[in-house]
Structure 1
Amino acid sequence: MADIGRASLILDTLAESRTMLSLTELARRTGLPRSTVHRLIQALEGELYVVRDPGRRGYSLGPGLLKFGVAAHSRLVSSNRRSLATLARTTGENVDLAVFSGREVVVVDQVESPDRVRSATEVGRAFSLHASCLGVALMALLPDDTVQTLLSGPLTRFTEHTVTDPDVLIRRIEDVRSTRIAVDREEHDLGICAVATAFRGQTGALQAVSVVMPSSRFRLKQSRAIEGLERLNPDLA
């Protein structure tokens, strides 16, 4: 693995962690030699891509990454806005755009429907991959070994409808690979259902789009939402 790949692995590991990580913890989580982690961390720190806690307890992502995040977010949103607005108008429901964020999926843009009701989703909200149609749709685009890794460890149950059995989830992902449509029936939030599709967008990033609505309207609007997502997904055109 080249240094850029090792550096990317370190940054991904820091992004997935909710706490600062020491060199030893980074080496353990990445599988890289501690000496390699130390050398790369010093280079990343010099560019402010990572910062060290003043108490020297560990490292976290730094402000140097913001310039990339802001530019990428702007391109991602602008390249999808028109199609999201069309989908929101034709379905009469909120439409979300989301991308991977470590072991979660995060909503980066939302177009509200004209008849908007209070939604369970909002820009910046993160969802567990296994408990959202956005996450399942995105995982369907990944290799099997990556999916296995993402589903390893305990999976949180958010509602009585949340699926936490990895084998069941893997079978669901296999189905989504054929249909390119994932469905969420109150698996993350009671009273909220959604359908989603995922694809590689114009910027090259893996992204997912969902139509979100109250459960009371889901049976009536599910087919319309799916048809809209199929028209939006370039891989199904």
Structure 2
Amino acid sequence: MDASPHDTDRISGTRSAGATAISTRTTGVPSAGTTRSTGAGTPSATGTQSVTRALSILRSFSPSCGGVTGPQIAERFGYSLPTAHRLLRALEAERFLVLDPVTRRYRPGPEFLRLSAVIVDRDGGVAPAFAALRRLRDRTGETATMFWRFADERTCVREVPSDHAHRVTPGVGRRYPLARGAAGLVLLLGEDERAVRDRLRNERPGLLADLSAARARGFAVTVGETIPGAVAVAAPVPGLRRGLVAISVVGPAQRFGPAEAEAVGGLVAEEARRLTATFRH
């Protein structure tokens, strides 16, 4: 399904004992330092590194994260403890983080709300997208989600959870590979077949055949690809830009057999077409 076996949840609301709330992706993140100008208004490499590190901290938050401490950030990202504290204090000063005086944990701050309000006010597609997910949840009884593509990953940017106690939730803010899960497949439909084959064929056996089937149906169905016992159905939303957005319905296989998946696929594709028309207008 659309979640990693090491992520929290994502069936029945239970959490894996080995789950981590903070992303551990540190590859290519350089050491932090002070910000300097190199002249002509160009920031130094050191200053850019500090910005990159601060953004990595912000991206590590998820709904299941109860806040972070300096030692946690230092350990997860390989920073020195003074560097971790310096970055956290800087983000707090700019209101991107707030510090709980009791637990001494940092949590997302009010600046996120302000920026979110800017996006909602500016982007006329946000409200229709949320409405589409609510309709899918209400019509299927399962969790409805939206994924955005970022390079060779996809991120869950919105979900409307199922009302069932036994449910699957990918988790807002969580990142997944494109080659796994229904949403990943449909985000690849707009790409050149040769480019997909050369770049991703080793990550998923039968990738091109799966893409061909999804293209013919207008949606993709995957079973247990990232969560054992879970089923995902997804369709692309090409109205913004082809290969950028997908919507998905995900649920446990006990309620989600082949017939149900086909029926849900039609509903998801219908909502994707409706969103596409909205974005184009």
Shorter-chain TM-score range: 0.5 to 0.7
Letter aligned with residue 92 of structure 1 = G
Give the equivalent residue in structure 2 for 1:83: 132
Picking from 172, 175, 180, the partner of 1:123 is: 172
Give RMSD over aligned pairs. 4.2
Q: Secondary structure at the match of 2:164?
A: coil
Matches within 5 A, 1:58-97: 70=116, 74=120, 75=123, 77-97=126-146
CA deviation digits over 1:101-156, x for unaligned, max 9? 3322111100123335332411122222222000001011222244235406x53x
CA deviation digits over 1:56-89, x for unaligned, max 9? xxxxxxx9xx99x857964464340111111111
Letter aligned with residue 266 of structure 2 = E
Give the equivalent residue in structure 1 for 2:220: 182
Matched, 1:103 2:152: yes
Higher relative contact order (CA 8 A, sep 6+): 2
Give the equivalent residue in structure 1 for 2:28: 20
Q: Secondary structure at the match of 1:224?
A: helix
> In 2, Cα distance between the equivalents of 1:97 and 1:203?
15
Normalized per residue, which structure has more strand?
A: 1
Q: 1:103 to 1:185 in 2, by over 3 A?
A: same
Give the equivalent residue in structure 1 for 2:247: 209
The answer for unaligned runs of 5 or more in structure 1 is 1-16, 23-39, 56-62, 156-163
The answer for unaligned runs of 5 or more in structure 2 is 1-24, 31-41, 55-77, 81-90, 92-110
CA deviation digits over 1:171-190, x for unaligned, max 9? 21122222221111111111
Q: 1:211 to 1:185 in 2, by over 3 A?
A: same
Give the equivalent residue in structure 2 for 1:227: 266
Letter aligned with residue 185 of structure 1 = V
> In 1, Cα distance between the equivalents of 2:214 and 2:236?
10
Give 1:44 shift. 11
Normalising by structure 1, report the TM-score: 0.63
Give the equivalent residue in structure 2 for 1:6: none
Letter aligned with residue 191 of structure 2 = L
Normalising by structure 2, report the TM-score: 0.54
Q: 1:139 to 1:72 in 2, by over 3 A?
A: farther
Work out whether residues 186 and 243 of structure 2, in 8 Å CA contact, stay in contact via their aligned partners in 1. no
What is the percent sequence identity of the aligned residues? 23
Q: Secondary structure at the match of 1:131?
A: coil
